[in-house]
Structure 1
Amino acid sequence: MDELGPFDLERGRIGDLLQADPPERRWVVSDRLPQDVVGILAAAGGTGKSMATLQLAVSIATGLPWLEMTISEPGTVLMVSAEDDRQEIHRRLSRIVEHYTSVHGGMEAIQTALSRELYIFDRVGLDNRLTVKMDRAIQNTPLVGQITQCARQLPDIRLIVLDPLARFDGGDPNDNSDGTRLIESAEYIRRETGATVLLPHHVSKAGIRDPGSGQEA
């Protein structure tokens, strides 16, 4: 008989699930963004996704509310920016800190928390593909392992941002199976780190009006 591997029936039994209470769902942003998932923040270009994502990172690093929503589990954030360089991040971060200080006070405490808990890597102009197509098959690139190893050094990692999704996709954007491989690479990072992995994604306004159109910006 062939080895059943992952489909050994003993592995599929659910008796243990019936004998204990299910674990409570953990949230990064209360009732909005779960801990330990892969998520896509999709919106049309020019709608402020990158700014909102950086605000989210600041909120998780400081524990301050994000868009009036509670941060359930503050912690460390790792961002890989493939579109906005360090100077642009500097400008945006300065505006966010100024705004948060005007609302919550305590600029020094905010800056201290961010210095300790927020890591941003400027990779503009570099090859950021998590996947690559070789001999008509999608494979992970070394970047998957590099991001994973970096995040593992952060014991309180809560969020990993890969911005934007398109810069990390080495497959055909019109091939759903290639897109699935990209999400699987992000799921590997999630599984190995326990962090939520968020991929902001540009979509066209036409695609928002017609989700079945398959169009992308």
Structure 2
Amino acid sequence: MTIVTPQPIAFIPPGEHAPIKATLFEWRDPATLTPRQWLYGRHLIRRFVSVTVAPGGVGKSSLTICEAVAMASGRSLLSDWVSGPLRVWVLNLEDPRDELERRVTATMLHHRVQPEALDGRLFVDSGRERGLCTATQARDGVTINAPEVAAVIAEIEARHIDVLIVDPFVSSHMVNENDNGAIDLVAKEWGRIAERCGCAIELVHHTRKLGGEEASSESSRGAVALLGAARSARVLNRMGEAQKADAGVSSDPNTYFSIDRDKANLAPPGKRVWRRMVSVDLPNGDSVGVTEAWEWPDDFDGISVADLLAVQIGIRDAWEAGKPPRASNQAKADWAGAVVASVLGLDAVKEKARITRMLKTWVGAGALREVQHEDAKRNKRPCLEVGEWANE
């Protein structure tokens, strides 16, 4: 893909005003319109603000560091599309520099990214050394810190930054995060910076306390105005115990989390993807968490047409033996899933959810069909019988 260098945008500094004028729309040949400049997947785009929302401890900082290394090296480390290599600035306002160095180094080692692959395109700074305050709030209202904003713009332009990651957003200002009007001003100021500099800006934000519920982007802490100013928002959720059991990773010491892009004004919402945090041992003795891509196991991985045929034969034999296989996985005995487990060598208890989904798929495809059958007490029970026989 050809990367178009953005032209400077007419910019009005904070505090200055210009006359409001109505601009007449003029039709242009659609082929001549400038295409949207996506930089990372369908989440980061030039001249726009994007938001990542997550509960504490899920792995959002490790995720964004891995994505920064991916963009700077031009490599798809997490199976996401990368328009690169890009110049990326990670502005972490919580962690000290040495911790950031450990995380970046561990990420590069784990994903086999050589130092020369970055070629001076990755910039990392800590808020412990130099904080950031784009706005303050007093009784008379919110004030945008114009010198601070100008300093950010100057550095982005001087370094030709394509992507700026601010982690966390709450540490980049000093306004009431529950005040929609105040957060709206701050968030839109970031949008003006993205517009002025022709870069993409990622704001990393925490969720409110959820009480065990799964988060959405609207679960972000404080005012919702931040999401209103973003053109893409995604949410991270730690894998629950039930999901671990379904995925067969309940005994895996690694941690797993999902990513849902549930606000996407400029692209269709994306499907849920999964990531895994793995521990990487550094030569200095430290162990550091690093994000890697992870695919949810396919229920039919390793299952062939011959296996389906064997299941159908098992279902037929059960009927002939006078034990019609019950459709419900709540059946105390004679569940059709027990036939599947026996034929395919699966664990009917530990893999109950998987087997249930397999049966549902086969019923939907017509390989099995549900029928009503009278039990010994003349009560009708839903059972499964062979539908259209599998053909190898």
User: For this structure pair, what is the TM-score category when the shorter chain's length is used for normalisation?
Assistant: 0.7 to 0.9
For normalisation by structure 1, the TM-score amounts to 0.83
Question: Which of 20, 33, 49 lines up with 2:29 in the alignment?
Answer: 20
Counterpart check, 1:34 vs 2:45:
yes
> What RMSD over aligned residues (CA atoms) do the two structures have, in Å?
2.3
Cα shift at 1:116 = 0.6
TM-score (norm 2): 0.47
Query: CA offset at residue 150 of structure 1?
Result: 0.5
The answer to whether the Cα contact below 8 Å between 2:40 and 2:81 also exists between their aligned partners in 1 is: yes
Q: Distance in 1 between matches of 2:220 and 2:115?
A: 42
Q: Residue 87 in 1 paired to residue 98 in 2? A: yes
4+ aligned runs moved over 4 Å, structure 1: 207-216
Q: Is the 8 A contact 2:47 2:191 kept in 1?
A: no
Instruction: State the distance in 2 between where 1:215 and 1:198 align.
Output: 16
Q: Quick one: which of 84, 91, 116 aligns to 1:73?
A: 84
Q: How many residues align?
A: 200
Q: Secondary structure at the match of 1:39?
A: strand
Cα pair distance change 1:92/1:127, threshold 3 Å: closer
Q: Does the residue aligned with 1:191 lie in a helix, a strand or coil?
A: helix
Which amino acid counterpart does residue 102 of structure 2 have in structure 1? R
Q: How far off its partner does 1:90 sit?
A: 1.2
- Could you tell me which residue of structure 2 aligns to residue 144 of structure 1? 149
1:40 and 1:198 in contact (8 A); partners too: yes
Uncovered stretches (5+) of structure 1, i.e. residues with no partner:
102-106
Change (3 A) 1:126 1:73: closer
Q: Deviations over 1:192-212 (max 9, x none)?
A: 211101111111351865877
| Deviations 1:138-167, CA, capped at 9 Å, x for gaps | 122222111110110123x21011110010
* Change over 3 Å in CA distance of 1:160–1:209 after alignment to 2: closer
Q: Which amino acid aligns with 2:148?
A: L
Is structure 2 residue 178 aligned with structure 1 residue 178?
no
Match of 2:343 in 1: none
After superposition, the C-alpha distances for 1:16-36 in whole angstroms (9 at most, x for unaligned) are xx2221321111113332222
**AA aligned opposite 1:5:** P
1:161 aligns with 2:172: no
Query: Whose relative contact order is higher, 1 or 2, with alpha carbons under 8 Å and at least 6 apart?
Result: 1
Letter in 1 for 2:86: G
- The higher radius of gyration belongs to 2
Paired with 1:175 and 1:147, the residues of 2 have a C-alpha distance of 24
CA distance in 2, matches of 1:78, 1:215: 24
* Structure 2 equivalent of residue 48 of structure 1: 59
Identity of aligned residues (%): 22
Structure 2 residues without counterparts, runs of 5 or longer:
1-17, 223-392
